[in-house]
Structure 1
Amino acid sequence: MVARQSSSRKRRKSHPRVVVIGGGTGLSTLLRGVKTYTPDITAVVTVADDGGSSGRLRKEMGILPPGDIRNCIVALAEEESLMSSLFQYRFQQGEGLKGHSIGNLLIAALTDISGDFLTAIRQASKILKIKGRVYPSTTEKVVLLAELDNNTIVEGQSRIMRSEHPIKRVFLRPGEVSPVPEAVQALMEADQIIIGPGSLFTSIIPNLLIPDIAEAIGASRAQKIYVCNVMTQPGETNGYRAEDHLSKLLEHCPGLTLDIVMVNNSPIPRRLREAYALEGAVAVDFDSSRLEEMGVEVILKDVVNFSNFVRHDPLKLARVLKRLTEPERSAPCPSLGK
């Protein structure tokens, strides 16, 4: 049980305490921006991944999947130097090596040497001299499952992402999972909690299915922000609007409270819309009035970078998020459940 934070808690005046929650490339993109306005960062990362290099290490060595953890460590590095590039280097050939990144193998080796995944993360973080801290949401070996709209159950994050039927809900096995205590403590002490962006069902919600994590967010006096995805994700959020993303978050986590939903309002260039449409993805649309009726403040901003892909821009995100920590915005907005 998480105790509600005392209203007398003193906030740091020098810089805000920020906790980000999620996984995948969305979380590492966000971290690259957040580290520009505060060094006091905690990343709480999903460990439900079972695909690629992480999945192989998980199966062969019995460790937690290191991939999303590795990406966060690199994103929080003081500077993305040669050592950072080395962490991200992925072998293109070699029996047993092809597909593995050096960072994943290093975290696996540090886990084997120390006998502890959290110790391995701390040691890898020291190597890159990161700003902040990175924690898995749990150190238990969880499996993500999904119930589809045809009532079938799909097991495993990588299979869920390829679902041909809409996802009704996701859940963890085992159902009762303990969080990493340091992650809960960081949430309770935070000034700003940011959820997303990232794959809704396979990167974000798995963290919030851990009861003490969701409860700590609800009890925290932090400003709570959901950064909505820019594009829908085939197999997960086909046809989803921003309101649908928020609705699914609340459906899976009834005690969750949010203050702000940030949605991109910059038009997607035609060439990119057409390229994404070939893969079944479209820009996430929104109805501000409906979102406000759900009890959140809606912030519409251009927070996207356009290249060959549509991605959140770390610096654009950081500018908006930093302004939300300024004194006139320090008090929580009217939020769900308050």
Structure 2
Amino acid sequence: MKPTRRTVRLTRLGRKRGTQPKVVALGGGMGLSASLAALRRITGAGDLTAVVTVADDGGSSGRLRDELGVLPPGDLRKALAALCGDDDWGQTWARVIQHRFQSRGDLHEHAVGNLLIVALWEQLGDHVQALDLVGRLLGAQGRVLPMSAVPLELQALVKGHDPARPDDVDTVRGQATVALTPGEVQSVHVVPHDPPAVPEAVAAVLDADWVVLGPGSWFSSVIPHLLVPELLDALTETKARKVLPLNLAPQPGETDGFSPQRHLEVLARHAPKLALDVVLADEAAVPDRESLTDAAKRLGATVELAPVARPDGTPRHDPELLAAAYDRIFRMHGRIGPWR
């Protein structure tokens, strides 16, 4: 049966307390937000954790990072907003923390949520405690954690970054620049090269029933999680099953011309020991199912195709359709009986 919004509502109503899987979602930006908006529909508030990249250096986050030396708060804020409930309280706070000031002064384009998060970091001196407090204020239906305790610089090796030298490979620095770089990204790494993971993020991955990696900007939001050694070790060692939802379309600049299977090949190059269980893709975004199946098999995964795109034709995930796909995958590929 093709999943519908009504299917998702009935599925959630039919779940009993204690039957939801513990899920950890990794990523950043709008891709992670879409995943969280879907997952909160099928998990309990205590069973969903977001682990968020901290390499952003653009916009309001970049300015706060440069001026105050803090973690970039923007992707953390977006994750918190995605976890807000659908009631008046949740939606009001989601709009408030996403609100950006418009002025001719220093506050221009700063997001309210970024300022709130940074203020609590300075007051409490603890990243995790502060984010937990913001989550309680918002009534967030899940927990948000940074992947590392230090701000990271993303660096990429890019072939043809300079159109005048199409065969040369240059180093491009900064997440905002990498996300829009011309040329072909060969690989990425982070500085510092051995960043510490947030212990709570590692613990969440090890304790999870399911880990969701992506969707999102491949080189600047998804792969950075694999560049934090302690986090990669946890992803490799965890007994959780792992699902990788693919993007609906290549990202201009960063993954121009990438096929769905090329995304998996790039992931495998950065983390050759990482195995997956399920690759989720929208059927309309997969022109060559056999090649995708072969690429997934090399990672130990099967391919699940489901309608997860918004009906308006834009390359964005529909939260309720994505929730239905996750729910079906968790039931089909998970353990039998109650989760807990």
TM-score bracket, normalised by the shorter chain, equals: 0.7 to 0.9
Q: Distance in 2 between matches of 1:293 and 1:38?
A: 28
Which residue does the alignment assign to 2:141? 131
| Greater helix proportion | 2
Which among 311, 328, 334 is matched to residue 330 of structure 1?
Answer: 334
Query: CA distance change for structure 1 residues 139 and 284 in 2, over 3 Å: closer, same or farther?
Result: farther
Query: Which residues in structure 2 correspond to 1:61-80 (within 5 Å)?
Result: 61-79=68-86, 80=90
Contact 1:229 1:284 in 2 (8 A): no
Which among 131, 146, 161 is matched to residue 156 of structure 2?
Answer: 146
SS at 2:106's partner residue? coil
Shift of 1:220: 1.2
For 2:28, give the aligned amino acid.
Answer: G
1:218-246: per-residue Cα shift (whole Å, max 9, x none)? 11111111000001111111111111101
Q: Distance in 2 between matches of 1:162 and 1:224?
A: 28
Which residue does the alignment assign to 1:257? 275
Which among 30, 52, 63 is matched to residue 56 of structure 1?
Answer: 63
Shift of 1:254: 1.7
Query: CA distance change for structure 1 residues 65 and 265 in 2, over 3 Å: closer, same or farther?
Result: same
Which residue does the alignment assign to 1:218? 236
Which residue does the alignment assign to 1:199? 217
1:159-189: per-residue Cα shift (whole Å, max 9, x none)? 1122111001000111111111111111111
Contact 1:231 1:284 in 2 (8 A): no
Which residue does the alignment assign to 2:92? 82
Contact 1:215 1:256 in 2 (8 A): no
Which residue does the alignment assign to 2:131? 121
Which among 166, 177, 183 is matched to residue 159 of structure 1?
Answer: 177
Paired positions, count = 304
Query: CA distance change for structure 1 residues 286 and 140 in 2, over 3 Å: closer, same or farther?
Result: farther
Q: Distance in 1 between matches of 2:91 and 2:104?
A: 26
Q: Distance in 1 between matches of 2:214 and 2:151?
A: 22
SS at 1:44's partner residue? strand
Shift of 1:13: 4.9
Which residue does the alignment assign to 1:298? 303
Which residue does the alignment assign to 2:164? none
Q: Distance in 2 between matches of 1:56 and 1:308?
A: 34
Q: Distance in 2 between matches of 1:14 and 1:262?
A: 22
Shift of 1:310: 2.1
Contact 2:84 2:93 in 1 (8 A): no
Q: TM-score, normalised by structure 2?
A: 0.85
Q: Distance in 1 between matches of 2:43 and 2:178?
A: 35
SS at 1:306's partner residue? coil
Gaps of 5+ in 1: 1-11, 267-282, 333-338
Which among 279, 289, 300 is matched to residue 287 of structure 1?
Answer: 289
Q: Distance in 2 between matches of 1:63 and 1:284?
A: 40
Matched, 1:19 2:29: no
Which residue does the alignment assign to 1:277? none
Q: Distance in 2 between matches of 1:200 and 1:292?
A: 16
Gaps of 5+ in 2: 1-16, 160-167
Q: Distance in 1 between matches of 2:187 and 2:65?
A: 24
Q: Distance in 2 between matches of 1:196 and 1:26?
A: 7
Identical amino acids, percent of aligned pairs: 39
For 1:50, give the aligned amino acid.
Answer: D
Which residue does the alignment assign to 2:326? 321
For 2:66, give the aligned amino acid.
Answer: K
Say which is worse superposed, 145-154 or 108-117, in terms of deviation. 108-117
For 1:32, give the aligned amino acid.
Answer: A
Shift of 1:118: 2.2
SS at 1:27's partner residue? helix
Q: Distance in 2 between matches of 1:292 and 1:175?
A: 28
